[in-house]
Amino acid sequence: MSEWLVLALAMVAVCAIVLAVQVLQQRRIGDDDDPSETPDVIEYMTMMIGVVYAIVLGLAIAGVWEARSAAQDHVRNEAQALHEIHERVRVYPAGVRDRIRADVDAYVSHVVTTEWHTMRTKGELTDKGTQLLDKVRHDVTDYVPKDDFEAQAYQPLLDQVTAADDARNARADSTGATMPGVVWFGLVAGALVTIGMIFALQIRRTPRELILAGLFSALIAFLLFLIWDFDAPYSRGVAATAQPFLMLFPGAG
């Protein structure tokens, strides 16, 4: 089932529950109830709870979006470092150059075809990918430059190998969820409290008030879904992609 279909069903379900509870509550208290009798302190508490929860939601969305952007940067840095290795070995002899480029291509192809699927489904990298990158490292480090021109290219190549390895490690650290369970507990509990405070205001069964209550509940459900969707940078709907690899290595896919 599509994640967006799940979102639509969840928003409809939340609206339906809130409206049903509100209608049932109104029938229980009767039509002669005066909503103007709501104590001012309840209105003040409802307003403050809404403001505090809105700040918490904003911080949570900013946090998971920043994590998602950082995850995409890790992919971009890794792809760029590998591309630099692929291009800079042109100063090496043909046999060495072709071997290093072939190993880089093999690693990139594994990442975009096999490892990316493993990241999305299991939240981890593959041992095969680690082995392929180690092979690239050994290709670069084991070669002994034959002249000054090759020696000048040797250290920058080592730096690019290190950059690719660092980016891969950062990508591995970003595969899981970024929001701790206790934060999710606070977000869900805060949503229940914020929506529950609607009933303390003695909202009447007018179409305008019921529509506003339903839209408010649906908005909170959407924001929680947005946080959940961004929470795993490589696994869900709006996820980081392997596009940097495919742009720099068109034949990898």
The 3-state secondary structure of 5-43, one letter per residue: HHHHHHHHHHHHHHHHHHHHHHHHHCCCCCHHHCCHHHH
CA distances to 78, 99, 170, 192, 247 from 88, rounded to whole Å, are 15, 13, 24, 57, 18
**226's tokens:** 């947005």
pLDDT score recorded for residue 5: 72
CA-CA distance, 180 to 178, in Å (whole number)? 7
CA-CA distance, 105 to 136, in Å (whole number)? 10
pLDDT score recorded for residue 162: 94
Given a cut of 70, the residues of the chain with pLDDT beneath it are: 1-4, 6-7, 19, 21-43, 200-206, 236-239, 253
CA-CA distance, 211 to 214, in Å (whole number)? 5
What 3-state class would DSSP assign to 219?
helix
pLDDT score recorded for residue 177: 78
Contact, 78 vs 232, CB < 8 A? no
Contact, 203 vs 213, CB < 8 A? yes
pLDDT score recorded for residue 137: 93
CA-CA distance, 155 to 240, in Å (whole number)? 31
Q: Computed from CA positions of residues 6, 220, 196, 186, in that sequence, does the dihedral angle turn out positive or negative?
A: positive
Identify the burial level of 117 via C-beta atoms within 10 angstroms of its C-beta, where 0-12 means exposed, 13-18 middle and 19 or more buried.
exposed
Contact, 227 vs 180, CB < 8 A? no
pLDDT score recorded for residue 31: 55
Identify the burial level of 106 via C-beta atoms within 10 angstroms of its C-beta, where 0-12 means exposed, 13-18 middle and 19 or more buried.
middle
pLDDT score recorded for residue 15: 74
pLDDT score recorded for residue 157: 92
Q: Computed from CA positions of residues 25, 30, 36, 40, in that sequence, does the dihedral angle turn out positive or negative?
A: negative
Phi-psi region of 156 (alpha: psi -120 to 50; beta: other; left: phi over 0): alpha
pLDDT score recorded for residue 41: 67
Which single residue is written with the structure tokens 């007018």? 206
pLDDT score recorded for residue 146: 85
Q: How far apart are the first and last CA of the chain?
A: 26
Q: How many CA atoms lie within 13 A of 52 on its CB side?
A: 13
CA-CA distance, 156 to 177, in Å (whole number)? 34
